[in-house]
Amino acid sequence: MDSGTVVAALVLRANRRSAVSLRDLARRAGTSHATIAAYRAARVSPSVATLGRVARAAGVELEASLVRSLPDRAARAQELLDVLDLAEQFPARHARRLEYPRFGRA
């Protein structure tokens, strides 16, 4: 999901939670209803400050966080193969007898 779509979803969610009209939200945020509509349609992306102002006008707070993005599946698969190859290079001592827990016997 690109940033424009994320911002549009945030503005739409804030607008719905506020339970006010688009015009009222715009008036509270100090902008025009056409601008809010453009944000909701992802035609225009507001600055972070403006997005915060729209959120506050809707009665919610904007909260940002950084999360680690996951690499694609091919990169993760290659990383796993690299780790397994590395593990094979270490010496291993295996017991002559395999120890395991016995379940179901009293």
Q: How does pLDDT run across 9-49, given as a tens digit for each residue? A: 989 888 888 889 999 999 999 999 999 999 999 999 999 99
CA 35 from chain center: how many Å?
A: 25
Class of residue 20 by CB neighbours under 10 A (exposed 0-12, middle 13-18, buried 19+): middle
More confident residue, 37 or 103: 37
- 3-class SS letters over 28-80: HHCCCHHHHHHHHCCCCCCCHHHHHHHHHHCCCCCCCCCCCCCCCHHHHHHHH
Report the CATH fold assignment for 3-57: 434 Repressor (Amino-terminal Domain) (1.10.260)
Enter the pTM of the model.
0.60
| pLDDT band, residue 5 (cuts 50/70/90) | confident
Rounded to an integer, the average pLDDT of 49-55 is 93
Reported as a single tens digit per residue, the pLDDT across 63-90 is: 888 877 777 888 888 888 989 888 888 8
pLDDT score of 59 more than 90: yes
